[in-house]
Amino acid sequence: MADGAVAASDVGATEFALRERRDTGALHRAIFIGLAGLLLVAPFLAYPVFLMKVLCFALFALAFNLLLGYGGLLSFGHAAYFGMASYVSAYTAKHWGMTPELAILLGVAVAALLGTAFGALAIRRQGIYFAMITLALAQMVYFFSLQTPRFTGGEDGIQAVPRGKLFGLLSLADDRILYYVVAAIFFGGLLLIYRIIHSPFGQVCKAIRDNEPRAISLGYRANQYKLAVFVLSASLAGLAGATKAIVFQLASLTDVHWTMSGEVVLMTLVGGMGTVFGPIAGALVIVAMQNYLAHLGAWVTIIQGVIFVVCVLVFREGIVGVIAKRVKQPL
Amino acid sequence: MKLKSLLVACAIAALSAGAAQAQVSVKIGVLNDRSGLYADISGEGSVIAARMAAEDFKAKEKGINVEIVSADHQNKPDVGSNIARQWYDNEGVDVIMDVPTSSVALAVNQITKDKNKIFINSGAASSDLTGPQCTPNTVHWTYDTVMLANGTGGAMVKAGGDTWFFLTADYAFGHALERDTTAVVVKNGGKVLGSVKTPFPGQDFSSFLLQAQASKAKVIGLANAGGDTINSIKQAGEFGITQAGQKLAGLLVFSSDVKALGLQTAQGLVLTESFYWDLNDQTREFSKRFAARNNGKMPTMVQAGVYAGLLHYLKAVEATKSKDTATIMAKMKEMPTDDPLFGKGTIRVDGRKMHDAYLFEVKKPSESKGEWDLYKLISTIPAEQAFRPLDQGNCPLVKKS
C-alpha cells in the first residue's frame, strides 16, 4: 500500500517534470520563432550596421556564456580568440583575396586551434588561477599582434578589408544583404549553442560545473569535457570576431585587448549568466549604450559602470535571469 | 486690387525662391576622443572650435546653415566606423572632422571615400592618410609624423643638437618615429649614438633614461606617445637630465601635455607644433575667446586645425554655392587657404595641408609670465621643409596627375 503510494507519487513527479520540460521547450521554440521574426524585420526598423555589430557581440557573448554559464569556467582571455579570428579573416580576405565565407571559416579554424592550445594548458587549474592563465595567454596574443605589423598592421590595424562576394556570387557591399548573412550566422550559432547546452554533453558539462568531484566519481572524464567546451566556446568567439572583421572591414588591436575580454564578461553578466538568451540582451544593452550615448562623451564609460554596479547589486541574475525567475521557466 | 495681390504674390515667390537658392545646409560631425587619452588635445574643445568657425564665418548671414554634431569614438576603430557610417547613411552628415587615433582615422578615411563625403582630419598623426592610403575625399590639416620628425629632428640638429639617443616605444609607431627622425638627423649632418627599445606601454623608464644619460648624446629623442611620453618626461625631470645639459626632444607632445606636466617637470623639452596660442596677435585674439568658452584652457593645435579646416570648407561652400563633394574638394584644393591661426597655405593634391611648423622649447618656471606661458620659439620651419615632398608619399592620386 505504502509502496504503491510512493510509486504513484513518483510517477506523478516524473509526469510533472516531463510536462514542465515540454512547457519550457514550447516556450523556447516560441522565443526562437519570435527572435527569427525580429531578425527579419529589424533592418527596416534600425540601422543595419548597428544591428550587425549587436549580432556579432551577441554571438561573442553567447560563446562566452557557453563556457562560463554552462561550463563554470571564467575565462578572462576570450578577446584572444575573437581578435585573432578577426585578424585572420581580415588578412585572408584582403591579401589572399578569399571569399568572405572562406575567410570567416579560416578565422574560426585558427580560433579553434588557439582554443585547443590555450584550453589544454588552462584547464589544469581552477578558479582564479584558470582565469589568470587565460588572461596571461591572451596578453601574449595581444603582444604578438602589436609586434607583427606585417600581419596585423600594428596599431593601425588591417584596414579597408573588402566585403567581397559570398560564394563568389552574392555581393555583400549592400548593408541589408550583409545584414541577412550576419543574421543567419548569428542564428546558426545560437541554435548550435542551444543544441550543445541541451545535449547529453551539455548535461555532463553542467554536472561538472555544479560538482566536479562527483562527476568524476560517476566516471566522467571531467578534463576532456572541459577542454571540449572550451574549444567550442573559443571557436564560436572566433566566428563572431571573423564576422565582425568582414562587417566593419577592419581588424584592430581593440579586438585583442584585455578590455574586450572584460566587455564580454560585462555583457554576459548584465544579460544573465547561465541563461540561453541573456547574453543577447546584454550585448544589445552594452552596444546600444556605446553607440547611442556616444555624444555624451566621457559619460559613456561612467554610465556603463553605474549600470554594471546596479546590475550586480539589484538583480544579480541579469536582465533575462530576472525575467526567467518571474515566469518560473529557465530561459 | 487684383493686380496688387498678383504683384505681392510674385514678390513673395521671388523672395522665397531667392532665399531657397542662397540657403545651403551643411552638417558637420566632430568625431573624436572625449573620454580617454586624447580628450584634452581634441575632445569638447574641437567642438567649440567648430562652433566658433561657423560663428566667425557668419555662416547664417551668408545663407549657409551649419549644424554641428559630435560623438566619442573611444579610440576604438569599430565604434568610430559605426558612428561614421551612421552619420553618413542616416543622419545626413556632410563632413567628418578631427578624428585622432590613427586606426580610427584610417577607418573613417576609407568609409568617407566609399560614401563620397568629406573628411577633414586634424587629430591623427599617421602620414599614411596622405601617403599610400590617400583618397580624393580627405584633407589632413594640422600635422603628421613626417612633420614631427622633420621639425624636431632637422631643426634640432641645426640648432646644435647633433648627437642623438632614442628612447623608442617598442611597437610599430615608435619604430616608425625613430626611423623617420634618424633619417632626418643624419641628413642634416647629425649622428645617432644609439637607441633603446622600451616595453609598450611602459611605467618605469629609469634604466633607459640612465642609459641615455650615459650615452652623452646632446639630445634624447622620445619616440613614443601618450602615457609613455608623460612618464618618460616625468622621470627625466626627476633625474634632472635637462638641467644637466642634455636636451629632451618629444616627438609627439602637445601643449596640453606640457600644461599637465607643469613647467617644473617639462622645462627644456623641445617639440614641434604647427600652432601655439601665443604666436601672434591673431592667434592670441582667437585663443582668448576660445579659452573663455573652454574653462580657461587654451586651444591645442588639433583644435586650431578643426577651426581652420571648417573655415576653409565653409569658404568653399560659399564660393561654389553647392555641397557636392567633388566640386567642394576641387575648390578647397584650388583656393589658397588663409585663416588667422595657420596663416596662408595650400592644400596639395594628396590632401596634405601645407603650412609652417614651429620648433618650441618649454620655458623654465622662472621665465614663464603666466599660467599658459609655456613655450619659447626656437625656429620656424617653412612648409616645404616641414612636410613630406609630394612625390615621396606613394599616394596614388599623385601618380595619375
| Confidence class for position B7, pLDDT limits 50, 70, 90 | low
Per residue in B133-157, pLDDT (tens digit) is: 999 999 999 999 999 999 999 888 9
Q: How far is B209 from chain A (nearest CA, A)?
A: 23
B255 shares a domain with B122: no
Mean pLDDT of chain B: 90
Looking only at the bridges linking them, the beta strands covering B247-250 and B219-223 are parallel
Of A31, A104, A17, A115, nearest to A66 by C-alpha is A115
Place of cell 569599430: B78
Q: How far is B44 from chain A (nearest CA, A)?
A: 8
Per residue in B354-399, pLDDT (tens digit) is: 999 999 999 999 999 999 999 999 999 999 999 999 988 889 998 7
Whether the pLDDT of residue A314 is over 60: the answer is yes
Q: What are phi and psi of A91, to 5 degrees?
A: -65, -50
Q: What is the mean pLDDT of residues A233-243?
A: 97
**Res B18: pLDDT:** 45
Chain A residues with CB under 8 Å of B128 CB are: 156
B364 shares a domain with B317: no
Q: Is the dihedral of CA A133, A134, A140, A146 positive or negative?
A: negative
Q: How far apart are CA A242 and CA A108, in angstroms?
A: 7
Q: Do B72 and A296 touch (CB under 8 A)?
A: yes
What is the chain A residue with the closest CA to B81? A248
What is the chain A residue with the closest CA to B129? A156
Nearest-CB residue to B71 (from A47, A53, A295): A295
Interface of chain A against chain B, CB under 8 Å?
A: 47, 49-50, 53, 146-147, 149, 153-157, 159-160, 175, 244, 248-250, 252-255, 290-291, 294-301
**Res A173: pLDDT:** 86
Chain A residues with CB under 8 Å of B71 CB are: 294-295
| Confidence class for position B201, pLDDT limits 50, 70, 90 | confident
What is the chain B residue with the closest CA to A54? B82
**Res B34: pLDDT:** 87
Whether the pLDDT of residue A324 is over 70: the answer is yes
| Confidence class for position B20, pLDDT limits 50, 70, 90 | very low
Is residue B62 included in any domain, yes or no? yes
Of A53-67, B189-203, B221-235, highest mean pLDDT: A53-67
Q: What is the mean pLDDT of residues A72-100?
A: 94
Is residue A329 included in any domain, yes or no? no
CA distances B37 to A27, B69, B149, B163, B307, Å, are 47, 21, 22, 32, 21
Is the ipTM above a cut-off of 0.85?
no
Per residue in B237-296, pLDDT (tens digit) is: 888 888 888 999 999 899 999 999 999 999 989 999 999 999 999 999 999 999 999 999
Whether the pLDDT of residue A106 is over 90: the answer is yes
Mutate to test the interface with A, among B78, B137, B175 (most CBs of A within 10 A): B78
Q: What is the mean pLDDT of residues A309-315?
A: 85
**Res A171: pLDDT:** 87
B305 shares a domain with B245: no
Give how many domains chain A has, as a whole number. Answer: 1
Residue B224 is part of which domain span?
146-273+357-382
- Interface A-B, measured as beta-carbon pairs within 8 A, has a size of 107
B216 shares a domain with B320: no
B190 shares a domain with B269: yes
**Res B372: pLDDT:** 93
Q: Do B34 and A298 touch (CB under 8 A)?
A: yes
Is residue A309 included in any domain, yes or no? no
Whether the pLDDT of residue B219 is over 90: the answer is yes
What single letter denotes the amino acid at residue B367?
E
Q: What is the mean pLDDT of residues B326-335?
A: 94
Q: What are phi and psi of B276, to 5 degrees?
A: -145, 140
Is residue B302 included in any domain, yes or no? yes
pTM for the predicted model, two decimal places: 0.85
Whether the pLDDT of residue B56 is over 60: the answer is yes
**Res A231: pLDDT:** 97
Contact B99, B73 (CB under 8 A): yes
Q: Do B72 and A244 touch (CB under 8 A)?
A: no
Q: How far is B71 from chain A (nearest CA, A)?
A: 4
Chain A residues with CB under 8 Å of B74 CB are: 290, 294, 300-301
Is residue A17 included in any domain, yes or no? no
**Res A39: pLDDT:** 94
Q: How far is B107 from chain A (nearest CA, A)?
A: 6
Whether the pLDDT of residue B322 is over 80: the answer is yes
Contact B183, B125 (CB under 8 A): no
Output the nine-digit C-alpha cell for B51.
562652433
Contact B26, B95 (CB under 8 A): yes
Is residue A138 included in any domain, yes or no? yes
Q: What is the DSSP letter of B75?
A: T
Is residue B32 included in any domain, yes or no? yes
Is residue A311 included in any domain, yes or no? no
B259 shares a domain with B165: yes
| Confidence class for position B2, pLDDT limits 50, 70, 90 | low
Q: Do A250 and B81 touch (CB under 8 A)?
A: yes
B124 shares a domain with B201: no
Q: What are phi and psi of B302, to 5 degrees?
A: -65, -45
B286 shares a domain with B242: no
What is the chain B residue with the closest CA to A246? B78
Contact B385, B154 (CB under 8 A): yes
Q: Do A155 and B173 touch (CB under 8 A)?
A: yes
Is residue A314 included in any domain, yes or no? no
**Res A9: pLDDT:** 54
| Confidence class for position A11, pLDDT limits 50, 70, 90 | low
Mean pLDDT of chain A: 90
Q: Do A156 and B103 touch (CB under 8 A)?
A: yes
Nearest-CB residue to B35 (from A249, A252, A300): A300
Is residue B399 included in any domain, yes or no? no
Q: What are phi and psi of B222, to 5 degrees?
A: -100, 95
Whether the pLDDT of residue B51 is over 70: the answer is yes
Q: Do B110 and A160 touch (CB under 8 A)?
A: yes
| Confidence class for position A331, pLDDT limits 50, 70, 90 | confident
Nearest-CB residue to B76 (from A147, A249, A254): A254
B378 shares a domain with B259: yes
Percent of chain A with pLDDT over 90: 66
Per residue in A279-291, pLDDT (tens digit) is: 999 999 989 988 8
Contacts of B381 (CB under 8 A, 6+ apart): B150, B151, B154, B155, B272, B356, B357, B358, B359
Nearest-CB residue to B35 (from A53, A159, A301): A301
**Res B4: pLDDT:** 60
**Res A22: pLDDT:** 77
Q: Do A157 and B83 touch (CB under 8 A)?
A: no
Q: With H, G, I as helix, E, B as strand and everything else as coil, classify residue B401.
A: coil
Q: What is the DSSP letter of B152?
A: I
Q: How far is A195 from chain B (nearest CA, A)?
A: 31
B77 shares a domain with B173: no
Q: Do A248 and B79 touch (CB under 8 A)?
A: no
Contacts of B128 (CB under 8 A, 6+ apart): A156, B102, B106
**Res A18: pLDDT:** 72
B91 shares a domain with B114: yes
Give how many domains chain B has, as a whole number. Answer: 2
Residue A77 is part of which domain span?
26-258
Nearest-CB residue to A146 (from B74, B85, B171): B171
Contact B217, B246 (CB under 8 A): yes
Q: How far is A245 from chain B (nearest CA, A)?
A: 9
Interface of chain B against chain A, CB under 8 Å?
A: 34-35, 39, 43-44, 69-79, 81-83, 85-86, 89-90, 102-103, 106-107, 110, 126, 128, 133, 170-173, 200
Is residue B104 included in any domain, yes or no? yes
Q: Do A147 and B171 touch (CB under 8 A)?
A: yes
Output the nine-digit C-alpha cell for B280.
601672434
**Res B17: pLDDT:** 46
| CATH number of the domain encompassing residue B73 | 3.40.50.2300
Q: Do A298 and B102 touch (CB under 8 A)?
A: no
Nearest-CB residue to B103 (from A53, A155, A290): A155
Per residue in A177-188, pLDDT (tens digit) is: 999 999 999 999
Q: How far apart are CA A262 and CA A279, in angstroms?
A: 14
Of B337, B343, B348, nearest to B358 by C-alpha is B343
| Confidence class for position A132, pLDDT limits 50, 70, 90 | very high
Is residue A148 included in any domain, yes or no? yes
Residue A43, H or E segment: helix A2-45
The torsion angle over the Cα atoms of residues A153, A157, A163 and A167, rounded to 10 degrees, is 60
B266 shares a domain with B163: yes
Is residue A4 included in any domain, yes or no? no
